[in-house]
Structure 1
């Protein structure tokens, strides 16, 4: 969970999409593909979905990861699900694992955040990483060459209480929109077959 969404709101290149707009998933897909490296570069595209299922407001990332896992994307790799979440305790270890498994990956960090009342329900897409751990006073690594964040509730006072009392319906609706947008982006993004380091080692064995 990133408690400082204003860092992204002030950046000119961040696109803001209301999750329940009729064409939100399409807008999201277009923005994602604009920011991804050219498909011919053959860089592995890795989505790192950050959060925990122990807090309703902070479950956006793992919900997105689970929905993407069910869609069985052919072009993208996904880490962080309800079953195997990526959170403050294991994040450093998981990022090291991803770097070992994939050669020069292009990473997209997905996380929930808090913001202004009028921004609740907005999905933000832009260049640069997410900064998880701000709300738990932990020095965690920044995640991603680009970010997708969802504003799930209002910031400014008793953030942990706010997160615990965030409506699951809103978080689930936002997760579905983000997952649909990524799925449509994957259909348009068709690089040559990319092999992870583990796959190459398995073939040589």
Structure 2
């Protein structure tokens, strides 16, 4: 669970009320993710807290989708949380040398931001909303604004509406699925075979 009360110009914010949210977010992902690298997605959070379950929900929704260019870590069954984060990150880096990490986590912020998803460049700081000292994660991050900050954050997280978290998680998962399809299409269009056949001269009729 991270904390955000200000937004930079480079961050992209999309409301879950926008019917086109998944498509908009997938377009931003397509622009910012490196096309030639597989992406490690770290879905941070815990199923023991409604508000903090955003990340693991996204992970569980993506786990069975047979994604080829995204590697998913952190689900409801095997959450990636404060107690195991350092250990799991070390294992991830062992399995994926020099990984490009997309970090996903729930976030507390201003009341006007609740229900929004923020895509930003650079690492996020998991645990910052609860004053926990955890390592920053990711070259790119998605923060789901699940509730307001400022007072008794543990209680706020426990009293976050499940509907808000589920809706947000479903749309983020859909955006990543769309991004997968777009990345595979880009890779297909730029494959050596496509380039080779595009440069071949047309076959003249009557010549065999």
* TM-score, normalization by structure 2: 0.86
Aligned length: 186
Q: Deviations over 1:100-143 (max 9, x none)?
A: 00122100110001111111100000101110122343321100
Given candidates 128, 153, 167, the residue that maps to 2:161 is 167
Larger Rg: 2
**Does structure 2 retain, via aligned residues, the 8 Å contact 1:44–1:104?**
no
Which residue is 1:75 aligned to? 69
Alpha-carbon distance in structure 1 between the residues aligned to 2:81 and 2:103: 12
Alpha-carbon distance in structure 2 between the residues aligned to 1:135 and 1:103: 30
Given candidates 7, 13, 31, the residue that maps to 1:10 is 7
Matched, 1:123 2:117: yes
Matched, 1:179 2:173: yes
Which residue is 2:52 aligned to? 58
Alpha-carbon distance in structure 1 between the residues aligned to 2:166 and 2:35: 31
The structural deviation recorded for 1:70 is 2.3
Larger relative contact order, structure 1 or 2 (CA cutoff 8 Å, min sep 6)? 1
Structure 1 residue ranges without an equivalent (≥5): 193-205
Given candidates 79, 86, 96, the residue that maps to 2:80 is 86
Matched, 1:102 2:99: no
Aligned-residue Cα RMSD (Å) equals: 1.3
* TM-score, normalization by structure 1: 0.87
